[in-house]
Amino acid sequence: MLSTALALMILAVLLAWPIPILLAGAAWPPRAPGLALALWQSIALAGGVSMIGSLLVFGLIPFGATPVAAVAALTGHVAAGTLPAGATLTGVMALCLALILTAHLLLNLSATFIRAERQRRRHHTLIGLLSDPLPFDTEGTRVIDHAAPIAYCLPGGTRSATVLSRGLLSLLDADQLRGVVAHERAHLRQQHHLVLLAFKSWHSALRWFPIANRAENAVALLVEMMADDQARLEIDDRTLAQAIALVGTAHLDEVAGTQSPAAVAGGLDYTSSADLVGPRVSRLLGDIPGLGPIGRTAVLSATAVLFLLPLALLVTTR
């Protein structure tokens, strides 16, 4: 199993550095943000499985010829309080590291989701008290009395909400406002908050990985582009780009002197940073064509291969 452990280690290194760097610098993701997001998810999952799997397989070498047989033998040795012949301190440490890393990632993911859910519940309560429903709207849009132009969505199991400020209503015309609302509702329908929380958890758990921050930023931009694509079904590209530029350049935190309610809520904020606004506006005004069939097939194939490769290495180990 040593060759499998080495192969998984090499794959983990590739997925932790050069492959994400290449994807982050590629020019095609704006042409197919949904496919690019799926590829990022595949890289994150495969990277985690490869990293843990390499440690696990290396540590299991003295226990059996295959991972399944070795795990069964390990269980028996743990119950008996013994070690097989050939077991070394390095192997035992590798097993401990695999268990610790797995627990660390899972606990961090759970803690991230629990904190976010608590924040959303508190904010839903505040929004219910401090906002009014948008007239003639039946889809849970709320209006807060805030001078800065703010729009964000607040996910929830049974009471999702799209929150707008009076400053936004006075800044945008009817078509621009329709595009903003369509954008926010796309976030809710496509459950983008779950994807963002997963990558936020990954970044929080692996702060020593520079690529974790890059991945979180890339995914944040991709979900905004996906929501933009839904808004483009409601209004034309130029009108949507104008709305994004108007809201994005308002510098609401500096002008209002307060923190954005969306930042407190843990919601998805349409009034995002300049790093997200610029590429989105350029994409809308640049008339960028979608990815062709060959390109889409290549990305889908790469996504499937990266996701399945570490699992195949673990299952077919001899």
CA 189 to chain centre: 16
pLDDT band at residue 257 under the 50/70/90 scheme: very low
| Mean pLDDT of the residues in the chain | 88
SS3 146: coil
Interior CA angle at 193 toward 38 and 297, to 5°? 15
Give the pLDDT mean for 299-312: 96
How many CA atoms does the CB half-sphere of 12 hold within 13 Å?
17
Give the pLDDT mean for 113-140: 88
User: In this structure, is the dihedral angle defined by the CA atoms of residues 288, 290, 295 and 296, taken in order, positive or negative?
Assistant: positive
pLDDT band at residue 251 under the 50/70/90 scheme: very low
> Does position 318 have pLDDT exceeding 70, yes or no?
no
pLDDT of residue 55: 96
> Does position 150 have pLDDT exceeding 70, yes or no?
yes
pTM: 0.90
pLDDT of residue 101: 95
pLDDT of residue 138: 62
Give the pLDDT mean for 259-284: 66
Give the pLDDT mean for 105-110: 95
Q: Which two tokens stand for residue 234?
A: 């409601």
**CA–CA separation, 8 and 124 (whole Å):** 44
- Give the sheet arrangement for strand 131-133, strand by strand: 131-133, 141-144, 161-165, 151-154, 268-269
Position with higher pLDDT, 167 vs 265 = 167
Q: Greatest CA span in the chain, whole angstroms? A: 76
Residue 10's nearest CA partner among 50, 39, 49, 48 is 50
CB-CB contact of 134 with 218 (8 Å): no
> 63: Cβ–Cβ under 8 A, 6 or more apart, which residues?
69, 70, 71, 73, 74, 77, 84, 87
**CA–CA separation, 162 and 10 (whole Å):** 45
> Does position 158 have pLDDT exceeding 90, yes or no?
no
Give the pLDDT mean for 76-102: 89
